[in-house]
């Protein structure tokens, strides 16, 4: 039985040079078979080509419109902030179960009454929320979205 470390692996074998004569092993038709459109040099057929027949191409509609790749902000309502105290950031909102992840944009939107005195440190808040926080004796600081550490960074910081 062969051991894993004794396997003969040709990972960086040079490519086979075809069309260099019979004795070279890849001569004459050079692995293209005989005759036909695919045996010729030059024109390559695209993946949807069906021999001039429109088939699948005309059957599938063109993608219309625009699909945004921007991730929408996670919404937190101001009345949920009443249970929190002190400095409130993405991580505190995540621990309270108000956002799905602390590493995406968070925006606080007004709803209900805000009575808690707190310092809100998120990426956004509506004007009415900022006014309500200031009225309650708190403050709002706009901060950048926290970046998640990679596995290597986390491992290095643990040491």
* Residues in the chain with pLDDT values less than 50: none
Q: What is the pLDDT of residue 155?
A: 79
| This prediction's pTM | 0.57
User: Per residue, what are the HEC states of 70-125?
Assistant: CCCCEEEEHHHHHHCCEEEEHHHHHHCCCCCCCCCCEEEECCCCCCCCEEEEECEE
Q: Name the domain count of the chain.
A: 1
Q: Give tens-digit pLDDT for 43-83.
A: 778 877 887 788 777 888 888 899 899 999 999 999 999 88
* Domain containing residue 110: 74-142
Q: What is the pLDDT of residue 108?
A: 94
33 within domain boundaries:
no
10 within domain boundaries:
no
Q: For the domain that residue 123 is a member of, what is the CATH number?
A: 3.100.10.10
132 within domain boundaries:
yes
């Amino acid at each position: 039985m062969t051991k894993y470390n004794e396997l003969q692996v040709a990972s960086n074998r040079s490519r086979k040079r075809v069309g260099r004569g019979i004795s070279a092993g890849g001569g004459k038709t050079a692995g293209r078979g005989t005759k036909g459109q695919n045996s010729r040099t030059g024109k390559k057929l695209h993946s949807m080509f069906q021999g001039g027949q429109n088939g699948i191409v005309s059957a599938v509609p063109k993608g219309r419109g625009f699909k945004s790749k921007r991730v929408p902000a996670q919404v937190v309502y101001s009345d949920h902030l009443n249970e929190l105290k002190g400095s409130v950031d993405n991580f505190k909102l995540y621990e309270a179960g108000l956002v799905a992840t602390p590493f995406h944009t968070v925006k606080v939107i007004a709803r209900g009454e805000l009575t808690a005195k707190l310092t809100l440190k998120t990426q956004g808040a509506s004007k009415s929320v900022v006014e309500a926080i200031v009225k309650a004796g708190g403050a709002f600081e706009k901060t950048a979205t926290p970046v998640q550490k990679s596995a290597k960074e986390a491992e290095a910081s643990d040491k």
